[in-house]
Structure 1
Amino acid sequence: MTSREDEAAGEIRATGFAWVRLEPSEADLLRSALAGGRAFFALPESVKAQHVSEDMNHGYRPMGQEYSVSAERPDLNECFALWSDRSDMVPGADRLGQLLQAWAAYRAVLDALVKGVVTCLARHFGGACAPAFRRASYLQMNNYCAAPAQRDLLQDLHEDGHLVTVHYASGPGLEVRLDGRIQPLEAAAESVLLMPGSVMTGLTSGAIRPLYHQVRDLAVPDRVSLMYFVNPSLDKPVHPWSHEPDTSVDLRDAIRSRPLAFGLPHVPDL
Structure 2
Amino acid sequence: MTQIKTCSDSIARSGFGTLQIPDSMLQDYRKIVDGYSAISPATKASFSFGQDTDGFFPFGAEYSGSEDHPDLCERLCYWPVHVSKRIGFEFTRSDFFAAVDTFERQISELAQELMDGICGEFGVPPLAPFRLASYVQLCVYGVQTANIERRFAQDPHEDGHMLSFIKPTREGLVLVKGGSLESVRLLENEVAVLAGSLLTELSDYAIPAAYHAVLAPQRPVSRSSLIYFANPNPEQVLTSFFRKQPIDLNSAVNARHTGFGNQPIQLP
TM-score using structure 1 length:
0.89
Please tell me whether residue 133 in structure 1 is matched to residue 130 in structure 2. yes
Structure 1 runs of 4+ with >4 Å offset: 89-92
Within a 5 Å distance, the mapping from 1:21-36 to structure 2 comes to 21-36=20-35
Matched with 1:171 is 170
Give the 3-state SS of the residue equivalent to 1:129 in structure 2.
Answer: coil
Structure 1's 91 and 225: CA in aligned 2 closer, same or farther, altered over 3 A? farther
Contact 1:85–1:104 (CA under 8 A) maintained in structure 2? no
- Partners of 1:18 and 1:138 in 2: CA distance: 20
Please tell me whether residue 189 in structure 1 is matched to residue 172 in structure 2. no
- Partners of 2:87 and 2:61 in 1: CA distance: 18
Please tell me whether residue 105 in structure 1 is matched to residue 138 in structure 2. no
Larger deviation, residues 72-81 vs 31-40? 31-40
Offset of residue 99 of structure 1? 2.2
Structure 1's 15 and 188: CA in aligned 2 closer, same or farther, altered over 3 A? farther
Residue 63 (structure 1) aligned to one of 59, 63, 86: 59
Q: Which runs of 5+ in 2 are unaligned?
A: none
Deviation digits for residues 48-69 of structure 1 (CA, Å, limit 9, x no counterpart): 2111114261101112321000
Structure 1's 20 and 81: CA in aligned 2 closer, same or farther, altered over 3 A? same
Within a 5 Å distance, the mapping from 1:1-270 to structure 2 comes to 3-40=2-39, 43=40, 45-55=41-51, 57-84=53-80, 86-90=82-86, 93-97=89-93, 98-145=95-142, 146-147=144-145, 148-178=147-177, 181-218=180-217, 219=219, 221-242=221-242, 245-247=244-246, 249-270=247-268
Equivalent position amino acid for 1:236 in 2: Q
Give the 3-state SS of the residue equivalent to 1:86 in structure 2.
Answer: helix
Structure 1's 91 and 156: CA in aligned 2 closer, same or farther, altered over 3 A? farther
Q: Which runs of 5+ in 1 are unaligned?
A: none
Contact 1:137–1:228 (CA under 8 A) maintained in structure 2? yes
Contact 1:165–1:230 (CA under 8 A) maintained in structure 2? yes
Deviation digits for residues 178-214 of structure 1 (CA, Å, limit 9, x no counterpart): 3552222122222111111001101111011111111
- Partners of 1:229 and 1:269 in 2: CA distance: 15
Give the 3-state SS of the residue equivalent to 2:238 in structure 1.
Answer: coil
- Partners of 2:87 and 2:179 in 1: CA distance: 43
Contact 1:52–1:90 (CA under 8 A) maintained in structure 2? no
